[in-house]
């Protein structure tokens, strides 16, 4: 486990060593975080969760578009590598966890876990299609499946949390009545 944590920290340092990626992460986080705040004011969402969701969206975009397309991917005629769901390996686990904080914060901000989950799955699909088109990554169905699985789990946990919180508030308000 310690080796995986070290690998993840090394990967983060490697990703952020690219000035374009680091700059994109900072600008994206600031712009999308501010957009989250404005959206919260406009739609009545929870502002703190909305800002965090915006910042986390910037992080997701920076991490998914940081790498150049591998040279071996340019040789084949296949647009997208068709492979299945797997959690074997650090990269696969990373993809499963990539959307979890974003979906959690967005679901708590909007109180719409299902809509957030569908948006996250759609965003993952769009990212996978765009990566080879802009030459910044590789389209893999495994990434889509892993991202989607993480989004589904995070949305389900957020829905459960919201339901428990709402129930606790109803019970608390019922106890306050004379």
pTM of the entire predicted model: 0.86
| Distance separating alpha carbons of residues 159 and 48, to the nearest angstrom | 18
Domain that holds residue 106: 2-176
Name the burial class of residue 2, with classes exposed (0-12), middle (13-18) and buried (19+) by CB atoms within 10 angstroms of its CB: exposed
CB-based contacts of 103, cutoff 8 Å, min separation 6: 113, 116, 117, 120, 150, 151, 154, 155, 158
Look at residue 75 in the predicted model and tell me its pLDDT.
58
Structural domain count of the chain:
1
Query: pLDDT tens across 79-129, in order?
Result: 888 899 998 888 899 899 999 999 999 999 999 999 999 999 999 999 999
pLDDT band at 143 (very low <50, low <70, confident <90, very high): very high
Percent of the chain with pLDDT over 70: 91
HSE, CB side, 13 Å, CA atoms: give it for residue 100. 11
* Res. 59: pLDDT tops 80: yes
């Amino acid at each position: 486990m310690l080796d995986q944590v070290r690998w993840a920290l090394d990967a983060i340092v490697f990703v952020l060593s690219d000035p374009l990626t680091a700059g994109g992460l900072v600008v994206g986080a600031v712009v999308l975080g501010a957009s989250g705040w404005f959206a919260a004011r406009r739609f009545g969402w929870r502002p703190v969760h909305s800002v965090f969701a915006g910042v986390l969206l910037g992080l997701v975009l920076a991490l998914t578009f940081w790498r150049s397309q591998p040279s071996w991917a340019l040789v084949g005629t296949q647009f997208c590598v068709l492979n299945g769901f797997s959690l074997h390996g650090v990269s696969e686990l990373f993809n499963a966890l990539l959307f979890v904080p974003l979906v959690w914060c967005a679901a708590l901000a909007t109180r719409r876990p299902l809509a957030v989950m569908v948006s996250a799955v759609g965003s993952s699909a769009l990212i996978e299609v765009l990566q080879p088109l802009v030459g910044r990554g590789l389209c893999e169905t495994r990434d889509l499946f892993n991202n989607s699985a993480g989004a589904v789990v995070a949305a389900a946990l957020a829905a459960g949390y919201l339901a428990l919180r709402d129930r606790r508030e109803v019970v608390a308000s019922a106890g306050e009545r004379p």
